[in-house]
């Protein structure tokens, strides 16, 4: 970690595989607090599903909201570690780690696929007011859907209960995505009010 002299010492560069992520100390604090807040919300409030088919995983918001410029190697390590931490508390040996690693692997490709021809600045935050409703919905449904597909098929580990597993994937993806987009509007409206 080195202090960036161009920004008066208020920005830090994290180097991994020759990529840089520029973050101010307040950005780093927000990132760390989001990590712990979403982890605690997941563990204490969203451990159980609705009617056994709709499960909400707000801890994924941390991975979805990481800066666009986050290198793939770092994304994979963070995704695996975060998923493993969730696995410890959910008593699910490696399921969340595998699903979060898949989400982290697909994230840069999904961003590239849905970004318009002009592109976005690599420091553009994932925000419904900046990127637009359609972009955020596509981004959210694709990544959360992939995560849930991996998670629930690994959990079932058979095609015997194919339709039940498919229902879990669909309803859980819709519920988690709805909550993510709702949270985006709530955070954005608070920022606009200030």
Per-residue pLDDT at 138: 96
Span 145-181, pLDDT tens digits? 999 999 999 999 888 889 999 999 999 999 999 999 9
Domain locations along the chain: 47-193
User: What pLDDT digit, counting tens, does each position of 115-132 carry?
Assistant: 887 778 777 888 888 888
Average pLDDT over residues 14-22: 47
Long-range contacts of 1-4 (CB under 8 A, 24+ apart): none
Residue 192 has pLDDT above 50, yes or no: yes
Q: Where are the alpha helices (DSSP H) in 47-161?
A: 60-64, 72-90, 95-114, 128-131, 133-156
pTM: 0.80
Contact (Cβ atoms closer than 8 angstroms) between residue 139 and residue 64: yes
């Amino acid at each position: 970690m080195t202090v960036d002299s161009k920004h008066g010492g208020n920005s830090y560069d994290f180097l991994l595989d020759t990529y840089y992520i520029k973050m101010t100390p307040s950005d780093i604090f927000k990132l760390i607090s989001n990590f712990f807040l979403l982890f605690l919300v997941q563990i204490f409030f969203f451990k159980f599903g609705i009617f056994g088919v709709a499960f909400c995983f707000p801890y994924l918001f941390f991975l979805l909201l990481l800066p666009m410029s986050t290198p793939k190697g770092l994304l994979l390590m963070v995704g695996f570690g975060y998923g493993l931490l969730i696995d410890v508390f959910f008593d699910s040996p490696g399921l969340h780690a595998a699903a979060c690693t898949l989400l982290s692997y697909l994230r840069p490709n999904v961003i590239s696929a849905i970004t318009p021809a002009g592109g976005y600045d690599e420091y553009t935050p994932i925000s419904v007011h900046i990127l637009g409703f359609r972009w955020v919905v596509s981004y959210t449904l694709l990544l959360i859907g992939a995560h849930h597909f991996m998670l629930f098929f690994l959990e079932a580990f058979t095609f015997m209960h194919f339709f039940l597993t498919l229902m879990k994937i669909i309803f859980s993806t819709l519920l988690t995505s709805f909550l993510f987009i709702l949270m985006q509007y709530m955070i954005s409206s608070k920022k606009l009010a200030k």
